[in-house]
Amino acid sequence: MIATLIRLFTRAEPSLSEARSHDAPALAALHDVSFRRGWSDGEFEQLLLDRNVLAHRAMASRRLVGFIISRKADTEAEILSVAVAKSLRGRGLARNLLNLHLRRLAALGVAWVFLEVDEDNEAACRLYRRAGFREVGRREGYYASGGSSGAAALILRRDLA
Ligand SMILES: CC(C)(COP(=O)(O)OP(=O)(O)OC[C@H]1O[C@@H](n2cnc3c(N)ncnc32)[C@H](O)[C@@H]1OP(=O)(O)O)[C@@H](O)C(=O)NCCC(=O)NCCS
C-alpha cells in the first residue's frame, strides 16, 4: 500500500525525445489503438527513415505513450499523426509534444504547418486551436463511411515564422 502510494506520488512525467526508426513497432501499436485505420510497422519505419520526416515520442517507464509525426517540404510541414495512450490523455501530454515539435520545426526553417482533422474530434480540435492553428479550409463529408454522410475534415494552419 505505502509502496503504491509512493509510486503514485513520485510518478515521473513522461520524457519527450525524437523518435527513431527502431520506435516504428511501438508507434504502429499506439496508432493502431488510436485510429480506425492502422499504419503498419513497415509504414512507420519508412516514414521514420525519411529525412524530411520529424517525429517525437513520449516515454514513461520505457513504454511509448505518445507521439507526433510530420513531414517537411521546403518551408512547409504537414502534421501526419498525433496520439497519446488512453490512460494518459487529458493531462497535457499532446500539448507538450506539439509545442516541442513546433519549436523543432521552426528551428529547421519551417514557416507554415498544416494538418487535417475530423471536425468531430473535440480533443484534437481543442489541442490545435489552443496551439494557434486556424481553419483555412474544409472538406465536407470527408469522413463519410457506408451510408452515413460523415464529418468534414478541417484544414488548419499555423504560421511559425
Ligand atoms: C487528440 C489527443 C492526441 C489529445 O491528447 P491529450 O494528451 O489527451 O491532449 P491534452 O491533454 O494535451 O489536451 C489537449 C486539449 O484537448 C482537450 N481534451 C483532452 N481530452 C479531451 C476529451 N476527451 N474531450 C474534449 N476535450 C479533450 C484538453 O482539455 C485540451 O484542451 P484545453 O487546453 O482547451 O483544455 C488524444 O485524445 C488522442 O490520442 N486521440 C486519438 C488519436 C487522435 O484523434 N489524434 C488526433 C488526430 S488529428
Q: Rounded to the nearest whole angstrom, what is the distance from the C-alpha of residue 106 to the centroid of ligand 1?
A: 23
Cell 485510429, located at residue = 35
Distance from Cα 82 to the centre of ligand 1, integer Å: 10
CA of 124 to the centre of ligand 1 (A): 5
Q: What are phi and psi of 51, to 5 degrees?
A: -70, -10
pLDDT tens profile 39-70? 999 999 999 999 999 999 999 999 999 999 99
Task: Give the predicted TM-score (pTM) of the model.
Answer: 0.93
Backbone phi and psi for residue 59, each to the nearest 5 degrees, phi listed first: -120, 135
Q: Which atom of ligand 1 is nearest to the CA of 83?
A: 39
Q: Are strands 153-159 and 76-84 parallel, antiparallel or unpaired?
A: unpaired
Per-residue pLDDT band at 142 (split at 50, 70, 90)? confident
Q: Which domains does the chain have, with CATH numbers?
A: 13-159 (3.40.630.30)
Residues forming beta bridges with residue 118, ordered by sequence position: 153
